[in-house]
Structure 1
Amino acid sequence: MIDPAALPSLHASHGGIWLREGGRTQAIAKGMAIARAAETPTLLLNAPLTGQRLGYPELNGLDLLELWAFVHPARFLVPTPKGLAEALGLERPATEDDIPQLLQNATAALLATLESPTWLEREGGWTSAQSLHRLRWPWAPLIAPRVARPAEAERWLFSRLPEWEETPPRPAPRTISLDEQAVLDQLTHLTGSGAEARPGQRAYAAAAVESFRPRKHRDQPNMLLAEAGTGIGKTLGYLAPASLWASQAQGTVWISTYTKALQRQLDRESLRLFPDPATAARRVVVRKGRENYLCLLNLEDALQGGFAGRAAILAQLVARWAAFSKDGDMIGGDLPGWLPTLFRRNGSTALTDRRGECIYAGCPHYRKCFIERSARASADADIVIANHALVMINAARGRETGQRPQRIIFDEGHHLFDAADSTFSVALSGQEAIELRRWVMGPEGNARGRRRGLAARLSDLASYDDEGGEAIRAAADAARALPADEWLKRIVAGEPFGPVEQLLAAVRGTVYARAADVGEADAGYGLETELAEPDGPLVEAAHEAALALDGLLRPLTRLAKRLEAVIEDAPDWLDGAARARIEGAIASFGWRRDLIAAWLALLARIGGPADGDFVDWMTVDRIEGREFDIGIHRHWLDPTRPLAETVLKPAQGVLVTSATLKGGGDWDNAESRSGATHLPQRAQQFEAHSPFDYAARAEVLIVTDIKRGDIAALSGAYGRLIEAAGGGTLGLFTAIRRLRAVHARIADRLARAGLPLYAQHVDPMDTGTLIDIFRDDPRASLLGTDALRDGVDVPGHSLRLVVMEGVPWSKPTVLHAARRLAGGGAAYDDRLIRARLAQAFGRLIRRAEDRGSFVILSAAMPSRLLSAFPPGTPIRRVTLDEAIIAVSAYSLAGAGLGDGMALGLQGIQSGTHDLERK
């Protein structure tokens, strides 16, 4: 067998490149590193990242992350040398030139695990190793000899996964009233009797009782808006009454979040309610949209030859994970977020049900389906942890009415408006239309894969039922009016085919004509224009497209009715498999008919009178000048109106909570952004201020000497501030282009100082992995955009400085302009900006002992927006040099150095900058 120590190992960073071979490590040049990796299988950690830093993105080798995914599927790993060393109990590398030897030692440890009798994930290992060997996976020659063939045939994946069982419908919850003292006792139980007393948390839990009282009026839930500052402990504060009500009323409480990070946190907190993991898994269920879960039928297709090359290797590793996964969640669950990025996301999306093609009970894996198991488990759960979009979609589409949420807690409630805006919007675009065509018609031409059209999914009906067969054929004929493959090429070439492509071509022409008037057409980014005063060709194209869509809607409606009649009549030829296919088709018909109806309503607007409840506009979507979609969009001017009608009014009780629910404004802002203003009566309100001493633990510094648009000065400011803080910096940008420019200028410089720098939209890793790396290394820094402003929870010394490139003004889109006009002009903008500033500042202080600085690199920061920050927080306008001195002092104090040493080093830092200026 190959000795891991004999394998060359390579490490590349912004600070240099090191190769270990023949027992010695040496620094080498990029060209030599690329050539060496191409010649001989070389040990790497995160090949895409290594390749990017070598300037050779297609670099391949023996990636230890892939080996980890085979040996320890579904186990968490921070994908860094430090994280790998800690996970394997190896010595952490002291310097970067120690990393190549670590890679060799880690390889030896992982390969030794394969031969250990205590290897917990042995089951299925031999079968997977043989399959991967046939696929020529680089690791297979090292793995296959070390994985012993089992004495008996392995129970592998599809035979290993448990089946869910049908259960009777759960009775309606009992009508009860919670005793406030009992809730406080439950809170004490959750926090532990020896925990520090938190008056704000106890007041919060007592106030939350209101949401669990019996409802008194129709269309009026018991609704509480609760702003609880960071550090109040609102999670346990609402879990106390929620868990008590679920136990006493025998009902389900839905806790809805906006970010996957909070979902994971809530899942962990559930162990306080049910310390036994098995009980917790049964009583607390995480629910997400179908597109988040592994589809076993898609996986089976991939394993049986549907995938080729690297995608086929990914499918085998995902199969390893699926056998040990808690719930099959591929997005934010226990599948390592870095795994799909190792394969350039080649094939990962095809393993989920992103096209809505699920055949439900017609699937051979239906009884083991992760999605169905989650849906059924939630019916009997005490707590269902979902997200805003799922709660709204279920309500809007009328699905799962037996499980319609009646008691809802919207955590991260400041995002309700945005979630509703996305959920209740409509987009008629080329990509949406071609997906509908594929759903109806299935594969065309030489297309491969599991995709099946209506005729294939309903072959029994087409063969035995004349009326149903005729409706299927009519739907397929009508679907030919939708865009087909290479539709965008035809439109750009001026050769659209069919009425919908003609419409998209007219939209494109109008957008370019109007965008050019304001100098936007050559900017290289997406273009848009208001859907107003359409010209004749656009109106005519919209009319023809509407006729085509109506021609598709009619046979689909006729077919849906016929399917329902067939199920009800249950003819002799309808065996179990055929019934399952028809039931699956009925389940997927509803929302597609609703989608087409929404498109027809949108097209009816073109050339007709405006509807003041909606904002309509047209777009040409581009990335760096390359077009990828064309569409017409419709959003509610106030999306909380459908939110109130479909979600809030049918509910018994609703708690909307956040640390920044008022968004730096007043309660009117919280009510308007949550939908409470559309209820018959006002919601109750509760507020608990953060217990943190912001006056002593934080400061806001507004840097006044960075010229707007000066990338060199902006980059220099970021670099010097990160150096002053010794890392631990979260850098926030409003434009990806500026983020990339700053990263390119400072990454090498910081690496030479031993300060790793990571960035969204630059490093080939998902956001969750980047945050894990940032949290794990106190000297690392992370640059990002809005997703980091709202979704980062990094307590402790790992985050001690937040830097914003400037005031986070709203992008001047058609939608924003309409809402700004309706919402009070500049006052509307100010409310949004204060909310964003409050959220960004909230990343800084997560625990009482945290301390740090919040820096805004903009002299134009208006004083009226400073109310976004907690009362008492020191706010100063300073030069960059003064900001660096202050940041250095705060960082040293946060690291545990005394005030005297911090002040002394302030002087040293100041003297250094004096020399730099001279």
Structure 2
Amino acid sequence: MFDDRSEESQPRFNPPNAPVMVVGLRHAVFLSPDGEIEELPHGAAAKRARATRPILVHTPACARRLKIDPFAAHDLLELFAFVRPAQFCVPTPRGIALATGQKPADDLIGQAEALAEAMKRLLQELATLHRNKRGPALSIAWPMARGHWPWGVSVLAALGADGDGPHRYAVYEGLKVWKKLGEWAEHAPPPPPANYPVDPKDARKRLKELLGEGAEERPQQADYASSVCSAFGPRLHDGAPNIVLAEAGTGTGKTLGYVAPASLWAQKNDGAVWISTYTRNLQRQIDQELDRLYDDPKDKRLKAVVRKGRENYFCLLNFEEAQRPLAQQPHQATPLGLIARWASTTRDGDMVGGDFPAWLTELLGNRFTGALADQRGECIYAACPHYSKCFIEKTVRRARSAEIVVANHALVMVQAALGGLDDSSMPTRYVFDEGHHLFDAADKAFSSHLTGQEGQELRRWLLGAEQKGSSRARGLKQRLETLIHDRDELRDAVNAVIVAAQCLPEQGWLGRIHDGSQHAKGPAEVFLAHVRAQVMARSADGDRGYSIETDCKPTVTEVLASAADLDRALEAMEKPAKSLIKIIAHMLDEKADELDSAERQRLDAAIRSLERRAIMQVAAWREMLASLVEETPKNFVDWFAIERQFGRDFDVGMHRHYLDPTLPLTLALAPTAHGMVVTSATLRDGTGDEEFDWAVAEDRTGAAHMPLPAVRAAMKSPYNYREQTRVFIVNDLGRDNPDHIAAAYRELFLASGGGALGLFTAISRLRAIYDRLTGPMDDAGLQLLAQHIDGMDVSTLIDIFRVERDACLLGTDAVRDGVDVPGDSLRLIVFDRVPWPRPDILHRARKSAFHGARYDDMLTRLRMKQAFGRLVRRAEDRGVFVLLDNRMPSRLLGAFPDDVEVQRVGLREAIEQTKEFLGNKSQP
């Protein structure tokens, strides 16, 4: 099937007979196989691209720039994903050049030459693969080539393919990666950790070891490591964890500052410290920092684990089922082959923020990427033929014996609420990084939504796919199939739940309720139709295409009547679900000597899933319905809403949030947590009243509700913001005139020569400004990226922004919180207006409960503080922050460091000073 060449022998180099294409902002460059260069305007380039299947980077992005539909091409990202699976690469010509060891070029001709060289280097890598790796690669390349993968011929040649390849009945054998994966092993549960404290002196010493010889002295970092040690002391009272609130200014080095005492505690006490973040970007950064603690990758794999929700991980059963149509649709071998290459190499199967290239989703489509994860809670656990090789189960078991577990707030919240995710074990020590987001994370975790989307999702989880061939969704009966076939009582209970679930919204519910309750099917849809009618009747904003909401009370008669009908239907579903749980629990008890471990695990998992999905959720819905007649409990805020995307209804229903979501958070964590560090660069408010600012931190993190007072610690940033930054508030601009705002963005971006981040408080304004900026930015030769417009996820956009030094990026909240771009790739931030909180019903209630107008100010200062903190990430960074809103009140200036002079100037002066401060010789 392939030759047995040594690594030193010459490869068979058979590149495609196609030109290399690089699409610029105004024109495209083509490099022919003979080395001829041709420069074409976009219109002519589009025609050439369709006719020649060029070699390029990121076909969808090139097509968007050429303003045409995606076309057939030799995408180097696909070749890179095959040759270097589970490796990082920025999806641009410069990114490919860097990834293949070249010096990136700024001009299009240099980039085209770099792409040609990158192709050659990648194919040479394949040709020199060790024989142990060449066989598996070839077994995946064969079906991809048979499916007409553009790179198929070149890849087979580089791998030394000889003859016609495998027999047609075995051609897809290489895609069955589950056959080659190792199995996890079950171990006895670990004993509880000991309670030896961490001495601050030892923490400082460990920190010094982590930094290494010759590292820059940072007194703030050492002080920080000492200050958080009290969270790693023994707990003195039941239900009263030791808490440290630690604010560490940007540049303190808080990650290694808390890793030092956390790792010491884990090693001294044979336990795990859970480090929790809000964003996936920080989760990835912390994982990278742990290389300092564990310099041996094998040691790190045993002692450091990244944990996320099950919906983030690759599902082998979904992958097997996705391969079934291959005989009839051989072209699907291309996306499945690239996924197989990744799956055979990945560290832990994490498809969201792990080693899975995010740009593959746009190249291959969600059907062959994200949809292969267990996004809908359909796992059948031990009944799965791949259970013993499952990535999720491997990660769960590794986490039980790890020293450091890097998780996220969402997972920790769910784990705390349920008393454990995969078993009843709970961590005792936590570090909550990005602690200023604890309030928002708890708000999402402990809220309830009686909506059409949620109801349809529960129906699908219970009934499975109701239309043949519409999806691979497995229902409750399928998940328990092998357990119920000879157990009548269990089968009858499952059938009763399924029959009762018919009350939930059916596929197509949104269109039916839009036409009125007379078209609705079942009590849930009738209720939603009446809710929609009440929202439409009472909305203050009218029907302008945006999401709208209204108070539940006073409730119209039709809503009350349909709510009563729905409550009875949900009760009829809740009863058999509870009976089913009792039957399963009884079976576990009565037949303990008959059940094998796989059956026991499946039954345990079935109980946990039913309790979470069919009991807790339905109970919350019934409480919400009851409150329409009775008083709403004082700790909750209820409302009705129509949610819209792109001007169209997306969801309809009733929502319930805690007034203070840190209450359920502390109730869930306090009983089992022994110590917690809550840390961020922006924990406190910036009013200047120190006691009030700390009180805000305690309110927002839940520390105010804990039995013991929190230890407070604050470290100033080591950066000289007075010298390194400028802050301008533009006072002569009409903020409601999009033409004026777009002109301001344009001139400021030109003044900085790119490297600019434009932040918006509304997606609609971002889109309006983007449309006005594309032409001028193209003319200036500055690449313009935009969240919600470019078809890439935020992390990929930020990766591109980081590498493309003079690019400009427009974004909203996710970019403001998630961007970490050291160096001069980010040297200007422009905020369109003061980021006041959205004045919705939930905010109205919280504003009334938390200090009135001061609550608005606190949230706004926090957002601006976070945005400003993106600007300087290293000691040598310089940057300018501009706010295009003359309504910025002076009381909000506490968002900026004390040593920064905030200047209120006209737009012309802001442009001139930006150009002068950044030393930019930009184009006129």
TM-score, scaled relative to structure 2: 0.93
- Would you say 1:644 and 2:666 are equivalent positions? yes
Shift of 1:572: 9.4
Q: What is residue 26 of structure 2 aligned with on the other side? A: 15
CA contact (8 A) 1:291 1:352 kept: yes
Matched residue, 1:557: 578
Contact persistence 1:733–1:804 (CA under 8 A): yes
Give the equivalent residue in structure 2 for 1:915: none
Q: What is the 5 A alignment of 1:654-693?
A: 654-665=676-687, 666-693=693-720
Check whether the contact 2:545–2:647 (CA below 8 A) recurs between aligned residues.
yes
AA matched with 2:862: A
* Equivalent position SS for 1:324: coil
Amino acid at match of 1:239: V
**Equivalence map 1:547-586=2 (5 Å):** 547-570=568-591, 579=600, 581-586=602-607
Q: Does 1:168 align with 2:188?
A: yes
Equivalent pair of 1:124/1:157 in contact (CA under 8 Å): no
Aligned to 2:107: 95
Counterparts of 2:13 and 2:429, CA distance in 1: 59
1:443-470, CA deviations, whole angstroms, 9 ceiling, x for partnerless residues? 2232344322222222344332222121
Q: Over residues 689-735 of structure 1, what are the superposed CA-to-partner deviations in whole Å (9 max), with x where a residue is unaligned?
A: 11111111112100112211211111111111111111111111111
Paired residue for 1:467? Answer: 489
Post-superposition offset of 1:309 = 8.0
Q: Which residue in the other structure is 2:72 paired with? A: 60
Query: Where does residue 49 of structure 1 map in the other structure?
Result: 61
Give the corresponding residue for 1:813: 840
Where 1:272 maps in the other structure, the secondary structure is: coil
For 1:6, what is the secondary structure of its paired residue? coil
Task: List gaps (5 residues or longer) in structure 1.
Answer: 893-901, 913-918
The answer as to whether partners of 2:273 and 2:427 remain within 8 angstroms in 1 is: yes
Matched, 1:513 2:537: yes
The amino acid across from 1:66 in the alignment is: E
- C-alpha spacing 1:37/1:754, structure 2 compared with 1 (3 Å): closer
Find the counterpart in structure 2 of residue 239 from structure 1.
259
Q: Does 1:114 pair with 2:126?
A: yes
**For residues 67 and 57 of structure 2, what CA distance do their matches in structure 1 show?**
16
- The alpha carbon displacement at 1:58 in A equals 3.3
Q: Which residue of 1 aligns with 2:433?
A: 411
TM-fit CA distance, 1:121? 5.6
Q: Deviations over 1:553-607 (max 9, x none)?
A: 1111111111122232338986676555434422321201211111111111112
Structure-2 separation of matches of 1:209 and 1:574: 46
Are 1:139 and 2:151 matched, yes or no?
A: yes
Does residue 479 of structure 1 match 2:501?
A: yes
Q: TM-score normalized by structure 1?
A: 0.93
**Secondary structure, in 3 states, of the residue corresponding to 1:480?**
helix
How far apart are 1:535 and its partner, in Å? Answer: 0.4
Q: 1:162-311 to 2 correspondence within 5 Å? A: 162-305=182-325
> What secondary structure sits across from 1:629 in the alignment?
strand
- 1:149 to partner: Cα distance: 5.0
Q: How far apart are the structure 2 equivalents of 1:185 and 1:335?
A: 36
Which letter maps to 1:756?
Answer: Q
Q: CA RMSD in A?
A: 2.3
1:670 deviates by 0.1
Residues in 1 aligned to 2:199 and 2:124: alpha-carbon distance in whole angstroms: 57
What corresponds to 2:551 in structure 1?
530
1:855 matched to 2:882: yes
Note if 1:837 corresponds to 2:861: no
Q: Which residue type is aligned with residue 735 of structure 1?
A: A
1:798 corresponds to: 825
Q: Match of 1:426?
A: 448
Identify the match of residue 397 of structure 2 among 353, 371, 376.
376
1:824 aligns to what?
A: 851
Where does residue 896 of structure 1 map in the other structure? none
Q: For residues 90-127 of structure 1, what are the alpha-carbon distances to aligned partners after superposition, in whole Å with 9 as ceiling and x for unaligned?
A: 45334124444443333333233322245996352112
SS of the residue corresponding to residue 685 of structure 1 reads strand
Shift of 1:3: 5.0
Distance change (3 Å), C-alpha of 1:339 and 1:119:
farther
Given residue 725 of structure 2, which amino acid in structure 1 is its aligned partner? A
Partner of 1:611: 633
> 3-state SS of the aligned residue for 2:880?
strand
Residue 22 of structure 2 contacts residue 93 of structure 2 at CA under 8 Å; is this kept in 1?
no
Match of 1:737 among 764, 767, 776: 764
1:631 aligned counterpart, secondary structure: strand
Cα distance change on mapping 1:56 and 1:671 into 2, 3 Å = same
Residues 31-46 of structure 1 mapped to structure 2, 5 A cutoff: 31-46=43-58
SS of the residue 2:344 aligns to: helix
Match of 1:880 in 2: 907
Q: CA shift at 1:394, angstroms?
A: 0.5
Instruction: Report the 3-state secondary structure (helix = DSSP H, G, I; strand = E; otherwise coil) of the residue aligned with 1:484.
Output: coil
Q: State yes or no: 1:770 paired with 2:797.
A: yes
Distance 2:707 2:537 in 1: 46
1:607-660 CA-partner distances (Å, limit 9, x unpaired): 221222111111111112211211211100000000110013431011101111
- Paired with 2:132 and 2:594, the residues of 1 have a C-alpha distance of 48
Counterpart in the other structure of 2:780: 753
State the SS of the aligned residue for 1:19.
strand
- Note if contact 2:147-2:332 (Cα within 8 Å) is conserved in structure 1: no
Name the CA distance, whole Å, in 1 between partners of 2:412 and 2:330. 39
Change (3 A) 1:189 1:120: farther
Query: 1:19-49 CA deviation, whole Å, 9 max, x = no partner?
Result: 3446433333444333333333222211111
| Stretch of structure 1 that moved more, 85-94 or 785-794 | 85-94
Query: Displacement, 1:847?
Result: 1.4
Paired AA for residue 198 in structure 1:
R
Match of 2:169 in 1: none
Aligned partner letter, 1:157: V
Q: CA deviation at 1:310?
A: 7.2
Whether contact under 8 Å (1:291, 1:354) holds in the other structure is: yes
Match of 1:365 among 386, 389, 393: 386
Secondary structure at the residue paired with 2:215? coil
SS for the counterpart of 1:7 is coil
Deviation, structure 1 residue 308: 5.8
Give the 3-state SS of the residue equivalent to 2:678 in structure 1.
Answer: strand
- Following superposition, the deviation at residue 159 of structure 1 comes to 2.6
- 2-structure distance, mates of 1:212, 1:809: 38
The residue identity in structure 1 corresponding to 2:661 is P
Using a 3 Å threshold, how does the CA distance of structure 1 residues 203 and 99 change in structure 2: closer, same or farther?
Answer: closer
SS at match of 2:22: strand
Q: 2:893, 2:436 → 1: CA distance?
A: 19
Structure 1 residues 135 and 601: alpha-carbon distance in aligned structure 2, compared to 1, 3 A threshold: farther
Partners of 2:848 and 2:96 in 1: CA distance: 53
SS at match of 1:158: helix
* Counterpart residue number, 1:602: 624
Which residue in the other structure is 1:452 paired with? 474
Code of the residue aligned with 1:459 in structure 2: it is: E
Residues 684 and 12 of structure 1, relative CA distance in 2, 3 Å threshold: same
What is the deviation of 1:192?
A: 2.2
Residue 171 of structure 1 deviates from its aligned partner by: 1.0
Aligned-residue identity in percent: 45
How far apart in 1 are the matches of 2:485 and 2:824? Answer: 68
Is the CA contact (8 Å cut-off) linking 1:314 and 1:340 kept in structure 2?
no
Q: Distance in 1 between matches of 2:851 and 2:330?
A: 56
Instruction: For residue 162 of structure 1, give the secondary structure of its aligned residue in structure 2.
Output: coil
Counterpart amino acid of residue 720 in structure 1: E
CA distance in 2, matches of 1:684, 1:92: 49
Give the number of aligned pairs: 894
Classify 1:801/1:311 alpha carbon distance in 2 versus 1 (closer, same or farther; 3 Å): farther
- 8 Å CA contact 1:310–1:343 kept in 2: the answer is no
